[in-house]
Chains A and B, each alone.
Chain A
């Protein structure tokens, strides 16, 4: 567990926890996550076909495509969530920070500490706000109250939630609004200082104001984390991401800078999907 720096009273971004990736000088690795010839199967059903892509460090990469195109499947494979699915099988490789996620000696739980995830539906534990945020630290064996307090404040500040909950940290997280619960889940994910944050349609259940806050938050988070987001909202992908990948029927159709995908995509299928003409 990396040392936790003192919370800052400056802007929320300044207060973000330092990720392990943050300890090294920022190089803007253009291939922080590398997906190589990746096939994925649910039993006999092939869900992904020969996916090859490089996801840059500390940028936001959006996965878009119609339902069933494989974007969430790929996202969930980046931290091996799909290992839990019966009959799940893969070919090819995914590396994060230069290390394969399929290393036989790698514990999946340690991988998931490096690669946090936020889901479509906010899923706070039926515990206090405080206990939700420090849950990952506690399960890692951190019990020092001062360290936990500090980490909780940092994560909540970093998730733009501190000012709203600082006076009721020990109230139930289930009493928060939907938007607050989602930001709490983001705080919980960043509290353990992952290198990568995976977000699976994080705003689909939120109203426009809560969505706007989460989007602002994503733009702040990318200063310290590599973010990969699955979204059905084209405007959202355009607003928050640096690169966008379009998937269709389990294949990566086009992957480029977001500005290119949304102004002048190379593949007609991409343009037809973005303009709502199919999918």
Chain B
């Protein structure tokens, strides 16, 4: 059973890597949310450094998955785990991109004319971050209730995004001299919304991983526990 034990250690190691990457991405999102509320050059720099680390982690995880598939012939839950690991690493990398984008936009605004944030923006950022944390919890525990919560929160991020857009568009119409800053703000809002969407995609992936159920386009099929 030595070979199997080695295989299980590899799987455990891969799982730890995903969790570590999730933690790094969580910090990037936290910086983004903080940057939107109170932009600073320091936050921008830290976000850039984190993003480099996230990209490197994705490559390592992907490579590890390829190696396990090639050498170990994983089957059933092991195969689902590897497939999910690759998908989640890709989703996390995209979250990292969006988080860095938010930090970049916030920095731009800070360096130019400060503009008023939509009232819903802070809540949108916090909710997107909470969804990401919960989806990573679901990855570790397979808790269907947590997954359901993430999925149920997604329409709220949509509503908040629309409210932010409406607010920004109104300000753009009122003050054309700050149209560039508002455009950056608009894109920051869009990125935060997409972080929420990606968190939901991760939660959906965890259902496949733990329950062998594809719910991506059919949330009603999520088994009640």
Interfacial residues, chain A to chain B (CB-CB below 8 A): 234-235, 238, 262-265, 271, 274-277
State the majority secondary structure of interface residues on B: helix
**Contact yes or no, B212 A264, CB < 8 A:** yes
CB<8 Å pairs between A and B, sample of 13 = A234-B73, A235-B73, A262-B75, A262-B76, A263-B79, A263-B80, A264-B76, A264-B212, A271-B76, A274-B76, A275-B77, A276-B4, A276-B7
Which residue among A262, A263, A271, A276 has the maximum number of chain B CB atoms within 10 Å of its CB?
A276
Find chain B residues with CB under 8 A from A234 CB.
73, 75
Q: Which residue of A lies closest to B78 (CB)?
A: A275
B 1-13 to A, binary, CB cutoff 8 A, 1 in contact else 0: 0001001000000
Q: Which residue of B lies closest to A261 (CB)?
A: B76
**Contact yes or no, B77 A271, CB < 8 A:** yes
**Contact yes or no, A265 B76, CB < 8 A:** yes
Find chain A residues with CB under 8 A from B7 CB.
276
Q: Which residue of A lies closest to B73 (CB)?
A: A235
Measured in the bound complex, the distance between the Cα atoms of B209 and A162 in whole Å is 46
Find chain B residues with CB under 8 A from A275 CB.
74-78
State the majority secondary structure of interface residues on A: helix
Residues of B within 8 A of A (CB-CB), count: 11
**Contact yes or no, A274 B212, CB < 8 A:** no
Of residues 52 through 102 on chain B, the ones whose CB sits less than 8 Å from some CB of chain A are 73-80
Which residue among B7, B76, B78, B212 has the maximum number of chain A CB atoms within 10 Å of its CB?
B76
A235 CB → nearest B CB, Å: 6
Q: Which residue of A lies closest to B74 (CB)?
A: A275
Q: Given the interface contacts A274-B76, A275-B75, does A263 sit within 8 Å of B212 by beta carbon? A: yes
**Contact yes or no, B73 A263, CB < 8 A:** no
Measured in the bound complex, the distance between the Cα atoms of B1 and A277 in whole Å is 8
**Contact yes or no, A277 B75, CB < 8 A:** no
A10 CB → nearest B CB, Å: 36
Measured in the bound complex, the distance between the Cα atoms of B74 and A235 in whole Å is 10
Measured in the bound complex, the distance between the Cα atoms of B8 and A277 in whole Å is 10
B46 CB → nearest A CB, Å: 42
Measured in the bound complex, the distance between the Cα atoms of B79 and A265 in whole Å is 13
Find chain A residues with CB under 8 A from B74 CB.
275
Measured in the bound complex, the distance between the Cα atoms of B77 and A234 in whole Å is 14
Measured in the bound complex, the distance between the Cα atoms of B76 and A263 in whole Å is 5
Measured in the bound complex, the distance between the Cα atoms of B80 and A271 in whole Å is 12
Find chain B residues with CB under 8 A from A263 CB.
76, 79-80, 212
Measured in the bound complex, the distance between the Cα atoms of B76 and A235 in whole Å is 12
B9 CB → nearest A CB, Å: 14
Find chain B residues with CB under 8 A from A276 CB.
4, 7, 75
**Contact yes or no, A277 B4, CB < 8 A:** yes
Which residue among B75, B77, B78 has the maximum number of chain A CB atoms within 10 Å of its CB?
B75
Closest 4 CB pairs of A and B: A264-B212, A271-B76, A274-B75, A274-B76
